[in-house]
Amino acid sequence: MKRIICLMLTVVLVLTGCSANKADSSSEAAKASEPQKVAACTGSLAEIWLLAGGKLSYVTQDAYDEHQFEVADDVVCIGEMKSPSVEMMISEGVDFVIMSSKIAEHTKLKDTLTNAGIDVRYYSVESFDDYLGVLKEFTEITGRDDLYEQNGTNIKATVDKVVSDAKEHESPTVLLLRASSQKVHAKGADTTAGAMLKDLNCTNIADTDESLLDNLSLEEIIKDDPDFIFVTTMGKDEDKAIQTLNDTLTSSPAWSELDAVKNGRFYILPKALYHYKPNAKWGEAYENLAEILYGE
C-alpha cells in the first residue's frame, strides 16, 4: 500500500506541475539548524537522522522495503531511492534534503534543489568512522549531543574493544564477495563489510590481488586459497543472488576443495548488518564477525 500511495502522489504532482516554493533568504547554516520538513533519500541516511533525534517528513521507498526501523505513519514516500520526486520536495516546501554522494541520480539533482532554495547535503557512509561523522553533524543540527553519546560514543567503545582484541591474533586471509541476481563481484576495503574485515586484522585477497576486483576468477581464488570466504547479497531477491553465486562459483567441484569450504569457514552474511549500513548496530556487526574469525 505504501508503494501504491507513493507512486500515485508522484504522478499527481508531475501532472499538476506544482510550482516551486522558495525558501527564505536565511543562511544555509541557519536553515539546517532547525529544518521543519526533512526528506531523506536513502533508508540508511533516514535512520541516522532518526538516531540523531531528527524528525522525518519524507523518505524513499527503500526505507519501507529494506530497512529495519519503524517509519512513522505521517511520513510520506517521495519515490524510489534512485528517483525521488523533485517536484514533490519543492511543492511540499521541504527545507532540508539528505542524499547520497555515491548515487549519481542524487548528485545530479543538486542544482535543481539548491535553486529552489532547499538545503541539500550529500553523505557517503561505508565505514564506522563515516557513520560517526554523519551522526555528529546530524546531532549538531538537532541539538541532541546526548544521542551522539548514546548512538555514537557508546558504540565506539564496543567497536574499539573488538578491534583491539583482534590485533592480538594472527591475521587471517579472507575473500569478500557480493552476489546479486545478475553477477558476483569480489569486494575490497571500500565497502561496509570490507572495511570491518580490515579493521579486524584480516587480509582480504581482493585488496592484495586487485585483478579479482575486475575479473573474478575461481582459478585466482584457488591460488590464493583464503582462510575465510564471506558473501553479502544485494537486491530484493536473496534466493536469486544465491543462485547466481552457485552458478558462478559454488557449483564447481573445485570450489569444495578450498580450505575455507572444507573447514566450514564459508559464510553468507546477514544483509541488514553487512550490505546495508548497521547504524545503531555497528557494535553487534563487529562482534559477530570477530566471533566467526577468532571465536570471541
List Cα–Cα distances, 182 to 143, 229, 236, 239, 243, in angstroms.
44, 20, 12, 12, 10
* pLDDT tier for residue 51 given thresholds of 50, 70 and 90: very high
Q: Do domains 2-145 and 168-294 have the same CATH topology?
A: yes
* pLDDT tier for residue 296 given thresholds of 50, 70 and 90: low
pLDDT reading at 87 higher than 90: yes
Domain boundaries, the chain: 2-145, 168-294
Give per-residue pLDDT as tens, 278-288: 999 999 999 99
Of 256, 236, 235, 258, give the one whose Cα is nearest residue 246: 256
Q: Which fold has domain 2-145?
A: Rossmann fold (3.40.50)
pLDDT for 27 equals 35
Within 10 A of 258 (CB to CB), how many other CB atoms are there? 22
* pLDDT tier for residue 24 given thresholds of 50, 70 and 90: very low
Q: How far apart are CA 92 and CA 66, in angstroms?
A: 25
Torsional class of 153: left (φ above 0), alpha (ψ -120 to 50), beta (otherwise): alpha
pLDDT reading at 211 higher than 90: no
pLDDT for 214 equals 84
List Cα–Cα distances, 224 to 220, 227, 264, in angstroms.
6, 9, 17
Q: What is the dihedral of CA 130, 133, 135, 140, to 10 degrees?
A: -170
The mean per-residue pLDDT over the stretch 200-205 comes to 98
249-256 contacts at long range (C-beta below 8 A, 24 or more positions apart): 249/177, 249/184, 249/216, 249/218, 249/221, 252/218, 254/218, 254/222, 255/218
Q: Which pairing describes strands 119-123 and 173-179: parallel, antiparallel, or unpaired?
A: unpaired
pLDDT for 126 equals 93
* pLDDT tier for residue 47 given thresholds of 50, 70 and 90: very high
pLDDT for 172 equals 98
Name the strand (E) or helix (H) holding 260. Answer: helix 259-262
pLDDT for 19 equals 34
Give per-residue pLDDT as tens, 221-260: 999 999 999 999 998 889 999 999 999 999 999 999 999 9
pLDDT for 33 equals 61
pLDDT for 26 equals 32
pLDDT-above-70 percentage for the chain = 89
The mean per-residue pLDDT over the stretch 87-96 comes to 97
185-193 contacts at long range (C-beta below 8 A, 24 or more positions apart): 185/213, 185/216, 186/212, 186/213, 186/216, 187/213, 187/232, 188/213, 190/126, 191/126, 191/232, 192/126, 192/127, 192/274, 192/275, 192/276, 192/277, 192/278, 193/230, 193/232, 193/269, 193/274, 193/275
24 three-state secondary structure: coil
Give per-residue pLDDT as tens, 61-74: 999 988 778 899 99
pLDDT reading at 20 higher than 90: no
* CATH class, 168-294 region: alpha beta
The mean per-residue pLDDT over the stretch 43-64 comes to 96
The DSSP bridge partners found for residue 79 are 84
**Contact (CB, 8 A) for 82 and 100:** no
The mean per-residue pLDDT over the stretch 156-171 comes to 98
The mean per-residue pLDDT over the stretch 206-218 comes to 89
pLDDT reading at 209 higher than 90: no
Q: Which residue has the cell 531477491?
A: 237
pLDDT for 34 equals 74
pLDDT for 5 equals 43
